[in-house]
Amino acid sequence: MTSGGATLGYIQEQVGHVLRDFLHLQRPVLLGAGEELRPGLDALTSLLAGGKRLRAAFCYWGWRGAGGEDCPQILAAAAALELLHSSALVHDDVMDGSDSRRGQPSLHRQYANRHAEQGWHGSPEAFGAAVAILLGDLLLAWTDQMFQSSGLPAEALRRGQPVLDLMRTEVMAGQYLDLLGQAAGDVTLASALRVVEYKTAKYTIERPLQLGAALAGGTGPARSTGAATATAYGLPLGVAFQLRDDILGLFGDPAQTGKPSGDDVREGKRTVLLAITRARASARQAAIIDRRLGDPHLDEAGVAEIRAVITGTGALAECELMIDRHVAKALAALDEAPITGEAKEALAELAVTATARRG
C-alpha cells in the first residue's frame, strides 16, 4: 500500500475481505448448533457483501489523519462498523416494513417468503420479522467481537471503546426520536434536523472519524482538535449526505438506490426534504403532502404528485443549495484541520462521493 493510494475502492475491497474472514470464523459455531443455520449464514454473507462502506472509510481516515499507518488491524476495526450498520438496516427494514434493500428482498421479506413457500405454521410475516430481529441481533453482537479481535493493541481499543459506545447509543436515540416524530406527526424542520444529526451525521461521519482518531492515539490539545475537526467536518457533511438520500429516494433511479421510489413517503418518514417542502407549501400543496405521507399503498401517480409539490414549492432547489452549502462548510473545516495532507485529500473526495447525484 503506497501512501495516498487508499481510495474508497481499496477500503471497500479490504473491508469485504475481513468481513468474509470473520463470517468464516462464525461458520463452525453456527453450523455446529445445527445445519438449519446455513440459510441464515448465507443471507448474512450476501447482506455483508454489499454497501458503500462509508462508515468504515471514515473510521479508516480518522486513523490515517491522526498519523496511523495503513494496516489490516485498522481495516478490521473499521469493518466492525459495517456489522453495526448492517444490523441497523435489518432492524430498520422490520421497523419500517420495507420489503427491499439494495435491490433484493429485505431479510424479513426473504424469510416470510420462505415460510409461505414451505406452508409452515403461523404467520409468514411474523416469522420473517422474528428471524430478522434475531439475525440483526447477531450482527450487533458481532460488532464487538470484530472490534475487540481486530488485532489492535489493547490500549488503542480502550481509547476507541467509549466512542463506539457513544455512537451506538446516539444512533438508537436518533431512531427513537424518528419513530416518535413519525407517530406524533411532528413535521417541523428543527425536529427533522435533530433526527438527521443523531441518526446520520454523528453515526455516519463524526463518530467513525473520531473512533479512528481515538484508536490512533495522541493526547492533549492535538486529540481534542482532532475530535473538533470530526465535528466541524462531519456534522454539515452528514446533513448534506442525508439530504441527498432524501432527494434520491424520490427523484433517484430505483436501480441505483435499491429501493422503490417514494418508499420514504409510504413509510411516513419526516425527512428534511419534506419538512422544507411543507414549510413552503400553499394550503393546497400542504394538503397533498399530509394526505399522501404514510400511505402504504401510494402508487406511482401519487409519488409523482408529491414530486411535483416538492419541485413546485422550490424545496428541491433549496435542498440542492443546502447540500452545496453544507459540503462547502465541511470542506472548509478540512482546510484548518490538524490532520495529514493525505487524509484531507481523501476526506474531500469522500465528501463529494457521499453527496453525489449518482447519474
Interface residues toward a copy of itself, by CB under 8 A:
26, 29-30, 33-34, 36-37, 40, 87, 91, 94-95, 97, 115, 118, 120-122, 126-127, 129-131, 133-138, 140-145, 148-149, 154-155, 158, 161, 165-166, 168-170, 172-177, 179-180, 182-185, 194, 198, 268, 294
Output 91 or 244, the one with its CB closest to a copy of itself.
91
Q: How far is the CB of 85 from a copy of itself (least distance, A)?
A: 13
Q: How far is the CB of 336 from a copy of itself (least distance, A)?
A: 27
Output 175 or 229, the one with its CB closest to a copy of itself.
175
Distances (CA, A) of 126 to 36, 58, 112, 299: 19, 36, 8, 25
Note whether 322 and 275 are within 8 A (CB): no
Q: How many CB atoms lie within 10 A of CB 352?
A: 10
Q: How far is the CB of 32 from a copy of itself (least distance, A)?
A: 8
* Residues 6+ away with beta carbon under 8 Å from 332: none
Cα separation, 44 vs 36, in Å, equals 14
User: Any idea what DSSP says for residue 150?
Assistant: S
Output 179 or 352, the one with its CB closest to a copy of itself.
179
User: Any idea what DSSP says for residue 101?
Assistant: E
Q: How far is the CB of 45 from a copy of itself (least distance, A)?
A: 15
Comparing CA positions, the residue from 246, 240, 214 lying closest to residue 229 is 214
Element (H, E) at 100: strand 100-101
Q: How far is the CB of 18 from a copy of itself (least distance, A)?
A: 16
Cα separation, 49 vs 69, in Å, equals 25
Output 177 or 315, the one with its CB closest to a copy of itself.
177
* Residues 6+ away with beta carbon under 8 Å from 212: 58, 59, 60, 61, 62, 63, 64, 65, 66, 68, 74, 78
Output 95 or 288, the one with its CB closest to a copy of itself.
95
Cα separation, 100 vs 90, in Å, equals 10
Q: How far is the CB of 78 from a copy of itself (least distance, A)?
A: 17
Q: How far is the CB of 54 from a copy of itself (least distance, A)?
A: 20
Output 3 or 188, the one with its CB closest to a copy of itself.
188
Output 5 or 296, the one with its CB closest to a copy of itself.
296
